[in-house]
Amino acid sequence: MASMKAVRIHHFGDEGALNYEDVSVPEPGRNQILVKVLAAGVNPVDWKMRKGGYPSVDEADLPITLGRDVCGRVAAVGSDVENCSEGERIIAFIGEGRGAYEEYALVEANEFAHMPRFATTNEAAALPLAGITAWQGLFDHGNLQAGQRVLIQGGSGGVGHIAIQLAKAKGAWVATTVSGSDIELAEMLGADQAINYHEESIEEALEPVDMVLDLIGGETQEQSFAVVKSGGILVSTVQEPSEALANLNGVRVAWFKAEPNGRQLADIVKLVEDEKVKIVLNRIFPLSEAAEAQRVLEHEHSRGKIVLELL
C-alpha cells in the first residue's frame, strides 16, 4: 500500500504533540473523492483539538490527522460521486473524523466545491471552514437581511475578514472590532465602521445593531448585548451566550457549530470569482512545520489566514 506524509497526534498536548509521519494513502469510499492535497488551511479548531479541548474528539479517537480545510487535485473518484473528475481542483471543509494535514485527503461528495478561478491554491485552502462558518453564522443562524446593521466582533481573523465581506455582499451595514493596526484592512474589506477594541468601547462608539456575530466570547460577548436592538440577535461561534442577559435585553441568542456544506461553499466561491470576497493570507508554512503554524495562530496577532503548503 502506498504511503504518504501526514501530521497526526497520538496524545493531546502542546505543539510538540504533532508528529510528521508516514501513514498509508487511504482508499475513497463510493461517496468520497481522494484529493492530492496542494494546501491545507489552519484553523483554531486544529489547535483546540490537539490540546484535547474539542468536545467531539477524545483520547479513544486517537491517533488522528489534524486539519479541516483542503485545496487539492482530485486523484480518484468514488463510484457514486457526481460533478467531479480526476485532475480537477477542488476545495472542501472536511467533516469530523478525517484530516487535511496530509498528502492525500478524503472528501465527501457533499463537502466540496470547485476551486475559485483566479485564486491561488493557498488562498483557496484558506476559504472553506472560515467562509462556511461566516455564512452559516450570518445567514442560517442570524438571518441577516439587506439593510440591517451587523457588528462582527473579531473582524481581522480567519472567519471575521470573510464575514465582513459576506455581510456587505448581502447589502448589510457592517461594523467590526479589530486591533488598531487592522483598521485599514477592515475598511479595505468594506466595513462601514472599524472600531479599535483596545481603545474604544463598542457601547460608546456604535449605534445599536440588529445582529452581532461574536467570534471572541467571554467579556467581549457579554458587552455585545449592550449594542443589540431589542428583538435583535447575538450569534456566537465560541460559547453559548447567557440566557439571563438575553432575557434582560430582549435579545435572541444562538451558538452553533459550522457544518460542511458543498452548496454553500460553491455560493461563496462565486462571490470570490465575482471579486466580492477577497481571501487575506497571513503566513504560509510547509506541511512539516505544522507545529509552528499552530503556535503562530494560537499565540500571535492574527490577520487573515495561515496555510500549510504542500509542494
CA dist., res. 246 & res. 234, Å (int): 9
User: Is 299 one of the binding residues for ligand NAP (CB under 6 A)?
Assistant: no
- Of 36 and 303, CB closest to ligand NAP: 303
User: Is 152 one of the binding residues for ligand NAP (CB under 6 A)?
Assistant: no
Under 8 Å between Cβ of 100 and 40: yes
Q: Is 194 helix (H, G, I), strand (E, B) or coil?
A: strand
CA dist., res. 33 & res. 185, Å (int): 37
- Of 140 and 267, CB closest to ligand NAP: 140
Under 8 Å between Cβ of 35 and 73: yes
DSSP, res 57: -
- Pairing between strand 209-214 and 193-196? unpaired
DSSP, res 51: T
- Of 20 and 54, CB closest to ligand NAP: 54
Q: Write phi, then psi, for 248 (nearest 5 degrees).
A: -60, -35
Interface map 255-274 toward ligand NAP (x if CB under 6 A): -xxx----------------
Interface map 106-145 toward ligand NAP (x if CB under 6 A): ------------------------x--x------------
Interface map 32-61 toward ligand NAP (x if CB under 6 A): -----------xxx----------------
Q: Give the interface with ligand NAP as residue ranges (CB under 6 A).
A: 43-45, 130, 133, 153-154, 156-160, 177, 179, 182, 197, 215-216, 220, 237-238, 256-258, 297, 301-302
